[in-house]
Structure 1
Amino acid sequence: MIAYKNTKLTKDTLTQLYKSMLKPRLIEEKMLILLRQGKISKWFSGIGQEAISVGVTTAMKNEEYILPMHRNLGVFTTRQVPLKRLFCQWQGKASGFTNGRDRSFHFGTQEYNIVGMISHLGPQLGVADGISLAKKLKNKQHVTVVFTGEGGTSEGDFHEALNVASVWQLPVMFCIENNGYGLSTPTIEQYNCDNLADRGIGYGIESHIIDGNNILEVYEKVNAIAKSIRSNPRPVLIEFKTFRMRGHEEASGTKYVPNELLETWAEKDPVDNFKRYLIEQSIITAEDNDSFIKSIKSEIDQALEEAYAEEAITPNLEKELTDVYKPFNYQHVEAEETKEELRLVDAISQGLKQSMEKHDNLVIMGQDIAEYGGVFKITEGFVEQFGKDRVRNTPICESSIIEVGMGLSIAGIKSIVEMQFSDFVTSGFNPIVNYLAKVHYRWNQHADVVVRMPCGAGVAAGPFHSQTNEAWFTKTPGLKVVYPAFPYDAKGLLATAINDPNPVMFFEHKALYRSIRQDVPTNYYTIPLGKAAILKEGEDITIISYGAGVHWALETLENNSNISADLIDLRTLQPLDTETIFNSVKKTGKAIILQEDSLFGGIASDVSALIMEHCFQYLDAPVKRVASLETPIPFINQLEDQYLPKNKFQQALIDLLEY
């Protein structure tokens, strides 16, 4: 039994809280019937946890974002999301939120300021940081609420998100639903502390423990905390003590849970207890309750009927392909004649600065990028011009900062995230390939994030500071990948990448930063993505490369003036300019592809396959790939020289010409 304390809430508020809990309970009971009938494929039950979703959501303003989990049906119903749309979502119908591309609660909706989870759980915590940062930058007195389970608190994303929120004093309410089990794993095997709320101490975050089955305690305490955060922005950690009365999902059952534990928590049922309290207090009658149930069941049945009546989705190939990216209306800005000689590093810095001037909603984040100017000094002086709100030093937490970029995009702010070295992107790989890349395809939300990737060998930096790992991302639909070789291209392509509302991985070769110079227009200008550059024209062979490989190829051609070759600098790897490649190969009849990355699974392999598929009848020789050794990148110069393909490219080129 739950003992409710005296409250000053009105009868109308108390009644509405009850009806708001009753609605998701009745929907769930209906879903369990439909699941047994095979009319829905899967269900994650929140029975017994309704007070948390309803109490928290009721305490929030409608314009404040909530990031729920798969047991937070009450968030959606309390926000008045139409039941027909929810049922269509669960049935994979077009009137749902993901066009049948994702299931259950894996969706978001800007209309209701809800951002749903992904199966990896942790990333939504950092996304909440990003949304709250955007609200803080816009001087909005808003709270962002994000849910996780006790199991999710073991993920690194949880700790990174709390740390970032604390350091930046972000108005985020982190809500842990501690419901006893992560699938079948009890809490005693998940963490070794009495209360998860105690973790707030380590991050300098205020924390609270709330009875998650007591709707009055949930609503009143959360309401007070939310009001406090709005007036004094800061993160707060709340642990809701509750219990999961059903299986992790229905197929898993609850055989691993002791019966006495289920019986104990059944007595604390939030819906039954609150109904009993309201009747005892003469706030509602039993007849009122029957009327509520009848009305809600009627609404459920009507919405289900409408959802079932909707036709199943008919696959549309063009729509599937075009929805991977948000449409981008490229606006060309011409380069002016006034130029100055710049190194690659200077052109990137100038391009960043001019984009910051153009977009007052653009934020740059990265380790040591503020006063220090970054390890390569690209953002030196930016703080003085743009301030620390827009040029933000970050803790060493790549995953969370990429997630912050996603949250900023949801709330209407562009961002650039600098990886100190491209090698370190592995620590942020999950949110890039599973969140940023998929979010527009899933629920029509774009990720307006550019990830800058200082990369490449040739500087004796060893296995963890020298990789050129572009192939990890060209494989992932939803990402764009840019890799310039010259200062002129770097500046113009960077401007376009920032304008593009889709996630862009922007590779910058460290060895070229201060070794390559070029006359670069001083004005702000753009270069379209997906358009290669033909650096030399010839008749005998097509050379295809990008990044440092372009300069190796140029050096080789300068040392062999008798070779007549088309030299193509791809510049953009996704989208790829296949038209320029095919036209050149059809003319020359031979193709050689040079990349710095190791051979297997790299860009050269796909370009070679494309040429074989589309230009086979024009070829006079096999397509040749030249790449680095199949080893990690060594440190010492003589080993690194052996690793790189530069010194073997000339002989491979001559051999192919003589084929």
Structure 2
Amino acid sequence: METTAQALAFDRKNLSDQTLLELYESLIVPRRIEEKMLILLRQGKISKWFSGWGQEAISIGVVNALQADEFILPMHRNLGIFTGRNMPLDRLFAQFQGKLSGFTKGRDRSFHFGSIEHHVVGMISHLGPQLAIADGIALADKLSQEKKVTVVFSGDGASSEGDFHEGLNVAAVWKLPVIFVVEHNGYGLSTPSEEQFAFKNFTDKGPGYGMETLRIQGNNVLEVYTAIKTLAEDIRQNPRPILVEAITFRMRGHEEASGTKYVPKQLMEDWSRLDPVENYERYLEEIGILDEKAKERINKKVKKAINDGLDVAFAEEAISPNLETELTDVYAPFAQEVISASENSPMSEKRLVDAISDGLRQSMEKYPNLILMGQDIGEYGGVFKITDGFKAQFGADRVRNTPLCESAIIGAGLGLSIKGYKAMVEMQFADFVSVGFNQIVNNLAKIHYRWGQQADVVIRMPTGAGMAAGPFHSQSNEAWFFHTPGLKIVYPSNPYDAKGLLNAAIEDPNPYLYFEHKGMYRSISSEIPDAYYTVEIGKAALAREGNQVSIITYGMGVHWALKAVEELGISADILDLRTLLPWDKEAIKATVKKTGKVIFLQEDCLNGGIGAEICAWISEHCFEYLDAPVMREGSLDTPVPFAPNLEKQFLPVERFTKKLKLLSEF
């Protein structure tokens, strides 16, 4: 990377003396904190530091250019965003030290947090997903007709991630009021720009997305401030995304331990002459706005605030773990009140597909802030026609066809949630969720535990085999998510539960995965209430009662189990879990205690499935009630095959029937 100029040319335009001095003080704060943190790091009083030394002008220019209630999504080197939003320094320092009064209560480090009060949404270590969240926040502003702009940061290294492409593409297609600021600082950890991408400037990328671009000198606080302020004023009136490339340089290591030995010495010297603080300070002195007395006064004030904040943070005792608090904070608080349809409510025969559509439509009517997003869900009605007619009824703003980018759409759902909306995201097939996996397990699932932000997002997952659709349209992947704290998972086996569980999931402000078996869409039907109702989350139900054995299952497994007990003439409890996370331990214990013989049936592959966990729990907690080994059956540990005969062998139906007979005779 080359330096772009030999000197910084400041142009105050029509800015007042007061604004120039306010920018100076704002710029000084992160630099003085940086200086202090490097001392504390050497003293062993903090454990790690990601330095933004030399890049402060970007954060300070941006944060001062925006309105206080406009969201900013910063990265590692944007300390100035947090200080510029006037976050209390004692809480900020407590955050760095893992103290209880920090923004994440000691659960995450450095800038991995957000604060709705300050309109800041912090990063996760995976970097790229931030851009999609910004899209969702901007979408909410656009839907609410708020004339606001959202700014999201990316480093030049993070731009190599697919989330960068998805975030820009969605914003461009939907004309979202987002400013994407790429801090082009030359290195991704130790990897130079030329080993990250083949183009020279990010402004070359904008036209490919149909997006305007602007390149600015990131070390010039006045250029950053005036550019962002001008763009923001324009975008508020004419919503659209703009890509801003801020040319700068990282003067210290990726984090302090990694150093900068890999950086050519001459390059470091050239950029040191473009220091944003020193150059701006010199400029203010030259034009007579800043003198030694004023400089001393400002620095004294800033240093006192820093030292006072550190004193408070250091005085705070180390966290004393509270088990109940840790477990409770995984989910946003929500006490479900089950809504029952009245006894005289009209009933209609509905297939599973109709029940899902019915529930979704009634939830759209109940919640005007519910937004549906997915591929082909608009006029086409989705590949399974769940949303057929929805666009005509609710409009294109609320029933949104999306580009083919699952990660960005899930992230946008989270962004909508941050602004108080509800989001339903339809995976065209559950298999495709793999390309949105990170957003689910690292953003949706963890965000409330980390900093108290709810993720009011339901992801619908058309799942399951039996239609000869092969390995990429037939997988049962619920176990991928069963291991992730912070998610809730439901899986109905009948139309009544399908409608009630979907409504309940949408009511709850926590993130849900809603699995719906494609093979049951039009093959299973029953009479259900026409009115809106919900089913209790976390509560299993007996699909059949008996006393010889207990079959614990869910989804299509319920119907396989019903058929097997009929064929074998066995008296069995068939316990339909309905909710996979959290699962109903009391109901499981009750049926085990009743029959003493248990088999778990799942369509998913056997190894590492949900049945393995539940069977292990039964062995540990219900051993005294058992009269036989705990058994389980599932599909083969292979990908789902295409040919019908191979798929039949893959599925557990025949193996389950044989094992059930064996268990009943034990």
Q: Which moved more, 1:102-111 or 1:551-560?
A: 551-560
Matched, 1:72 2:78: yes
Question: Residue type of the partner of 2:247?
Answer: K
Structure 1 counterpart of 2:153, from 133, 139, 147: 147
Q: Which residue of 2 aligns with 1:291?
A: 297
- 1:135-174 to structure 2, matched below 5 A, reads 135-174=141-180
Structure 1 counterpart of 2:380, from 366, 372, 382: 372
Q: Which residue of 2 aligns with 1:496?
A: 504
Whole-Å separation in 2 of the counterparts to 1:630 and 1:265: 56
Contact 2:48 2:255 in 1 (8 A): yes
Cα deviation, residue 29, structure 1 = 0.3
Question: Residue type of the partner of 2:195?
Answer: E
Whole-Å separation in 2 of the counterparts to 1:412 and 1:486: 31
Whole-Å separation in 1 of the counterparts to 2:341 and 2:92: 50
Whole-Å separation in 1 of the counterparts to 2:621 and 2:228: 62
Cα deviation, residue 352, structure 1 = 0.3
Cα deviation, residue 184, structure 1 = 0.5
Structure 1 counterpart of 2:127, from 121, 126, 135: 121
Question: Residue type of the partner of 1:110?
Answer: I
Cα deviation, residue 401, structure 1 = 0.2
Q: Which moved more, 1:385-394 or 1:189-198?
A: 189-198
Matched, 1:13 2:19: yes
- 1:300-379 to structure 2, matched below 5 A, reads 300-336=306-342, 337-379=345-387
Matched, 1:109 2:115: yes
Question: Residue type of the partner of 1:379?
Answer: T
Question: Residue type of the partner of 2:632?
Answer: R
Whole-Å separation in 2 of the counterparts to 1:484 and 1:525: 15
Structure 2 counterpart of 1:131, from 124, 127, 137: 137
Cα deviation, residue 335, structure 1 = 2.0
Q: Which residue of 1 aligns with 2:452?
A: 444
Q: Which residue of 2 aligns with 1:176?
A: 182
Cα deviation, residue 651, structure 1 = 1.1
Whole-Å separation in 2 of the counterparts to 1:630 and 1:216: 61
Question: Residue type of the partner of 2:601?
Answer: L
Q: Which residue of 2 aligns with 1:540?
A: 548
Structure 1 counterpart of 2:523, from 515, 527, 531: 515
Whole-Å separation in 2 of the counterparts to 1:405 and 1:24: 32
Matched, 1:611 2:623: no
Cα deviation, residue 5, structure 1 = 2.7
Summarize deviations over 1:286-342 as a string: whole Å, max 9, x none.
221122111111111111111111111110000000100011121221123421110
Q: Which residue of 2 aligns with 1:637?
A: 644
Whole-Å separation in 2 of the counterparts to 1:488 and 1:291: 70
Structure 1 counterpart of 2:658, from 626, 651, 654: 651
Q: Name the SS for the 2:117 alignment partner.
A: coil
Structure 2: unaligned runs, 5 residues or longer: 1-6
Question: Residue type of the partner of 1:29?
Answer: E
Summarize deviations over 1:365-423 as a string: whole Å, max 9, x none.
00000000000000000001100000000000000000000000001000000000000
4+ long deviations beyond 6 Å: none
Cα deviation, residue 540, structure 1 = 1.1
Q: Which residue of 2 aligns with 1:395?
A: 403
Structure 2 counterpart of 1:587, from 585, 594, 597: 594
Question: Residue type of the partner of 1:129?
Answer: D
Whole-Å separation in 1 of the counterparts to 2:13 and 2:263: 35
Structure 2 counterpart of 1:381, from 383, 389, 401: 389
Whole-Å separation in 2 of the counterparts to 1:130 and 1:470: 26
Summarize deviations over 1:96-148 as a string: whole Å, max 9, x none.
10000000000000110000000000001000000000010000000000001
Contact 2:489 2:582 in 1 (8 A): yes
Structure 2 counterpart of 1:483, from 469, 491, 515: 491
Number of aligned positions between the proteins: 658
Cα deviation, residue 222, structure 1 = 1.0
Q: Name the SS for the 2:647 alignment partner.
A: helix
Q: Name the SS for the 1:538 alignment partner.
A: coil
Question: Residue type of the partner of 2:602?
Answer: Q
Summarize deviations over 1:189-220 as a string: whole Å, max 9, x none.
11111201211110000000000001111111
Q: Name the SS for the 1:376 alignment partner.
A: coil
Matched, 1:553 2:561: yes
Q: Name the SS for the 1:15 alignment partner.
A: helix
Q: Name the SS for the 2:381 alignment partner.
A: coil
Q: Which residue of 1 aligns with 2:473?
A: 465
- 1:397-416 to structure 2, matched below 5 A, reads 397-416=405-424
Cα deviation, residue 257, structure 1 = 0.5
Q: Which residue of 1 aligns with 2:245?
A: 239
Whole-Å separation in 2 of the counterparts to 1:417 and 1:101: 28
Summarize deviations over 1:138-173 as a string: whole Å, max 9, x none.
000000000010001110000001000000000000
Q: Which residue of 2 aligns with 1:60?
A: 66
Question: Residue type of the partner of 2:586?
Answer: E
Contact 2:413 2:425 in 1 (8 A): yes
Summarize deviations over 1:64-123 as a string: whole Å, max 9, x none.
000001100111111111111100100111111000000000000011000000000000
Cα deviation, residue 602, structure 1 = 0.3
Cα deviation, residue 282, structure 1 = 0.4
Structure 1: unaligned runs, 5 residues or longer: none
The percentage of aligned residue pairs carrying the same residue is: 62
Q: Name the SS for the 1:81 alignment partner.
A: coil
Whole-Å separation in 2 of the counterparts to 1:263 and 1:516: 72
Q: Name the SS for the 1:655 alignment partner.
A: helix
Whole-Å separation in 2 of the counterparts to 1:3 and 1:144: 28
Question: Residue type of the partner of 1:328?
Answer: F
- 1:187-206 to structure 2, matched below 5 A, reads 187-206=193-212
Whole-Å separation in 1 of the counterparts to 2:473 and 2:64: 49
- 1:220-299 to structure 2, matched below 5 A, reads 220-299=226-305
Whole-Å separation in 2 of the counterparts to 1:565 and 1:345: 28
Contact 2:543 2:558 in 1 (8 A): no
Q: Name the SS for the 1:115 alignment partner.
A: coil
Cα deviation, residue 6, structure 1 = 4.8
Contact 2:12 2:222 in 1 (8 A): no
Summarize deviations over 1:528-567 as a string: whole Å, max 9, x none.
1110011111111101110111000011122233x11111
Contact 2:568 2:661 in 1 (8 A): no
TM-score (norm 2): 0.98
Question: Residue type of the partner of 1:121?
Answer: L
Whole-Å separation in 2 of the counterparts to 1:163 and 1:75: 25
Q: Name the SS for the 1:108 alignment partner.
A: coil
Summarize deviations over 1:495-517 as a string: whole Å, max 9, x none.
00000100000000000000001
Contact 2:378 2:391 in 1 (8 A): yes
Whole-Å separation in 1 of the counterparts to 2:451 and 2:10: 40
Question: Residue type of the partner of 2:467?
Answer: V
Whole-Å separation in 2 of the counterparts to 1:383 and 1:587: 50
RMSD: 0.7
